[in-house]
Amino acid sequence: MRNSSKSKKILALFLVLVLGFAIFLAVMLYTAIHDRDIPSIFSEETSKAQRGSIISSDGFHIATTQKLYKAVVNTRNIDSNKTELFVQLFSIYSGIDPADIRQRLLTRKGSVTLSYHISPKEAMYLKTLAFELRRLGVFIEYTNRNGDRILQGLTILESGEAREYPYGKLMSPFLGYPRKIEEEGYTRVYGIKGLEKFFDEELNPQQNKAQKAMRDVNGYLILNKQSDTKQQINGLTVKLNIPIALQGRVEAITDRIKEKLQADEIIATVMDSKSGKILALASSNRFDPSHIRREDYPSLNANAIEYSYEPGSVIKPVIFALLLERHLINPYDMVNGHGGRYQMGRKVIVDEHKFDMISAENVIVYSSNIGIAQLAQKLSGAQFTEGLRQFGFTHFSGVDLPYEKRGSIPSSAQLNNYLYKAITSYGYGMRANAMQLVKAFNVFNNGGKIVNPMVVDSLIDDNGRIIPMQTQPPIQVISPATAQQMKRILIKTVVEGTGTSAKTPGLEVGGKTGTAHIAKNGAYVNSYHTSFIGFANDTKHRYTIGVTVINPRTVYFASITAVPVFKGIVDMMIEEKFLKPDPAAVAAAAAAKDETPVHH
């Protein structure tokens, strides 16, 4: 009996084990056959690459990109008894007013975006907050219609990028500005004007970061041979030739004198004469690229290259150089000044300074329209046209900025006509931009060689690798001897001619003034462009400096509008140690000034 009872128990236990094993096999078979929701073995994390920065030559960040994040919460996950705790903590971490948070939570049930403009620092804090809120039980699971249990809580996601300009209006308008474009729910920034446009491809991010790997129990990715990783490659950094202090001080000079002259705009350029590097490119009309207002619209163009005009008398040295180069004149040839009024065909040419006879070089020194009009007749139309083109007119200046206006000159056939030659020789009947004029004048301060102006020095990648900008080799436009003669004449113009206000003891300073009527609707009106293009050199440094004043209203002569801007820039460059006057010459000039008798 006992054995029979024991056998039954063993049989029953065996049957239970068999049944359990059969159920296990059935479950395994069902799981293998049917679709199921299981956690992925591999998990993926992505991060968007960023647009590159623009930095000054001395390392200050002029334009940067900041990532923006959005904070999303599932309202169904918030414990109704702890809603106010969530509101207060989120407000502390995000800086958003609690009333705004409450209002947004009431907009709908489910996923609600609390902010689209979370900074990277705030995003880091909010991610920590999301973890703590789960730990504190502020977020609870809920069951959806399909019977799935959901726990999402607070999620921080990348939403886009914002372009920031820490120095506000500095370096605009040539710095340019961007626009925002939505790409699959992510806000990207693209350049529209200025450097932001010209270097848009280089600044744009190259590759987003992506990591696909297994997670450990804490949710962190395990990076090993089985993981798949794509490195984040941000856009290149654009490094300028322009130091921030010099640029800022040149802008301040243009601002101050614009207000004094009640001018429409003042444009100033400082270029290293040998290399072509632009050390300052300033306009009195600037804007903050982060906050462009309707009243800023007229200032959005970089008028140093996007505005062309009849240059007036600053073109005379170029014509004179063409004559010297072809040995068509001698600086000491005598020219008839006709007493300041000269009838050439149907055109009456007038000079501000009246002369009877004047040396050829003094035609430049005292800016005689009558003199240059007669001298220009020695050039053929082809020589005239080809010469202007060799000096860069009608060509892009080569500066690394977009939307340049090349200007225009009369054709060779037109310049075979004596009136066209005369009018063009003193800067009418042709158009040029301020950068082209600086590039042309630089030939005189660079041994007769023409170089392209360059705003940008190099590009820098994430690893610190420096990619220098490609530059065009200098081209010999006129002989060194002709350049030296022109340099001497331009120095004489500052010493005793129309540019005397630019004199600076201890430095080699030369240049030429220009004043030209502005044409509107096909007729010249009582407003002017005034210019002074010149150079300032010490024993080690050579700089070409150009100033253009658009429509000064209080007074219109270049000698008292453009020249003071030039002089202010030179004095400031001495203070900033870009130029070092010869101490002996400075002392001699001071002594001579003290000895000059004062007339009462």
Segment 508-519, tens digit of pLDDT: 999 999 999 998
Question: Distance between CA 126 and CA 113 in Å, rounded?
Answer: 14
**Structure-token pair, residue 473:** 């080799």
With vertex at residue 177, the alpha carbon angle to CA 174 and CA 178, rounded to the nearest 5 degrees, is: 145
Strands 54-55 vs 237-240: parallel, antiparallel or unpaired: parallel
Closest by Cα among 44, 39, 64, 45 to 54: 64
Q: Are 49 and 207 in contact (CB under 8 A)?
A: yes
**What pLDDT is stored for residue 595 in this prediction?**
62
Query: How far from 499 is each of 357, 518, 533, 534, 571, CA to CA, in Å?
Result: 21, 22, 10, 10, 15
**What pLDDT is stored for residue 217 in this prediction?**
44
Query: Coil, strand or helix: which one is 383?
Result: helix
Q: Residue 497 region, left (φ>0) first, then alpha (ψ -120 to 50), else beta?
A: beta
CB proximity list for 146: less than 8 A, separation 6 or greater:
none
Measure CA 529 to chain center: 25
Closest by Cα among 440, 331, 325, 346 to 393: 440
- As beta bridge partners, residue 543 has 272, 536
**What pLDDT is stored for residue 442 in this prediction?**
98
**What pLDDT is stored for residue 37 in this prediction?**
43
Q: Which tens digits make up the pLDDT trace of 343-363? A: 998 899 999 889 999 999 999
* Segments of the chain scoring below 50 in pLDDT: 35-40, 217-219, 598-600
What angle in degrees, to the nearest 10, is found between the helix axes of 316-325 and 480-496?
Answer: 140
Strands (E) located in 382-539: 432-433, 449-450, 456-460, 466-468, 475-476, 508-520, 523-537
Other beta carbons within 10 Å of 307: 18
Closest by Cα among 275, 278, 276 to 246: 278
**What are the structural domains, with CATH classification, of the chain?**
51-143+154-204+235-240 (3.90.1310.10), 244-287+304-457+484-595 (3.40.710.10)
Question: Distance between CA 54 and CA 65 in Å, rounded?
Answer: 10
Question: Distance between CA 488 and CA 586 in Å, rounded?
Answer: 20
| Length in residues, the chain | 600
**Structure-token pair, residue 20:** 């359990």
